[in-house]
């Protein structure tokens, strides 16, 4: 499957403008042969926009995404806030090319005061969607920096991990180095799709990428509003897991914290 990611500064706080930008990106991705387009974290609203996040989370943000998916016959992973039962979540929705909501992920690891001020944490390490012959796991930004989340996705059989992201300065090293390690140690594709430019008090690092199970970066961009694209092949994942059997060679019996007495917590 060919996939694309939209790196963009977006228009913070302006849902209608971001929907229009997504419409154009969908047309470009579909014309290139992509079947899936991934946006940055909270793309539809912006991230560092203050209390407007909570207000926008109470509006219908899903319908315009579904409309675009149907119009372009393109699956979408879109970052947006959600409000449910008195709580607000930093979410990514997976919408199929017929507009059906196939899955969602709510960010589990909240980063800093900005996240914690507005959002409640999700309760699943990852969320899995089966689409087009692929198992696709969803994580959001800081989630991918915890190896347990990515390993959980790999153990669930994920071929691709889609990561809408809002990575800011001074953490460019995460985008430059960590993603390749996550892909290699789990033999999985990782699509890391970031904001660019500045928003509120944040300066984003850009550096979106799609990385293969070998750790090879298949496509990337440092700056600017651009699409990245690559082909995801589950046969490559299967071969990588056979050649580099980290998942099979694990010793989970050694990892459980309960196995260690307090005086033995040393390496």
* Catalytic option among 82, 88, 107, 199: 107
* Catalytic option among 41, 82, 145, 199: 41
* Catalytic option among 82, 141, 145, 199: 141
Give one DSSP letter per residue of the chain, joined into a string.
Answer: -EEEEEEB---TT-HHHHHHHHHHHHHHHHHTT-SEEE--TTTTT-SS-TTHHHHHHTS--HHHHHHHHHHHT-EEEEEEEEEETTEEEEEEEEE-TTS-EEEEEE-SS--HHHHHHH-PPPS-S-EEEEETTEEEEE--GGGGGSHHHHHHHHHTT-SEEEEE---BTT-HHIIIIIHHHHHHHHT-EEEEE-B-SEETTEEB---EEEE-TTS-EEEEESSSSEEEEEE--HHHHHHHHHHS-TTTT--GGGT-GGGS-GGG---
Establish whether 216 is a catalytic residue.
Answer: no
Establish whether 141 is a catalytic residue.
Answer: yes
Q: Which residues are catalytic?
A: 41, 107, 141
């Amino acid at each position: 499957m060919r996939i694309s990611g939209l790196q963009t500064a977006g228009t913070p706080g302006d849902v209608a403008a971001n929907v229009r930008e997504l419409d154009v990106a969908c047309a470009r991705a579909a014309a290139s042969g992509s079947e899936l387009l991934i946006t940055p974290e909270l793309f539809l609203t912006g991230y560092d926009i203050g209390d407007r996040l909570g207000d926008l989370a109470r509006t219908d943000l899903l319908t315009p995404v579904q409309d675009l998916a149907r119009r372009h016959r393109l699956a979408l992973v879109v970052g947006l806030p959600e409000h449910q039962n008195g709580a607000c979540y930093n979410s990514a929705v997976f919408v199929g090319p017929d507009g059906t909501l196939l899955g969602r992920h709510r960010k589990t690891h909240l980063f800093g005061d900005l996240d914690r001020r507005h959002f409640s944490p999700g309760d699943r390490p990852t969320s899995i969607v089966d689409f087009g012959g692929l198992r696709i796991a969803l994580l959001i930004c800081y989630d991918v920096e915890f190896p347990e989340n990515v390993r959980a996705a790999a153990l669930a059989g994920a071929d691709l991990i889609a990561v809408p992201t809002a990575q800011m300065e001074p953490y460019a090293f995460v985008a430059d180095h960590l993603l390749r390690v996550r892909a290699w140690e789990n033999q999985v594709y990782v699509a890391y799709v970031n904001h660019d430019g500045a928003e509120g008090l944040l300066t984003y690092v850009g550096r979106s990428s799609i990385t293969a199970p070998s750790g090879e970066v298949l496509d990337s961009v440092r700056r600017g509003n651009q699409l990245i694209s690559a082909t995801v092949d589950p046969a490559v994942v299967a071969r990588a897991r056979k050649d580099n059997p980290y998942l099979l060679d694990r010793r989970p019996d050694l990892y459980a914290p309960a196995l260690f007495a307090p005086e033995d917590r040393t390496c």
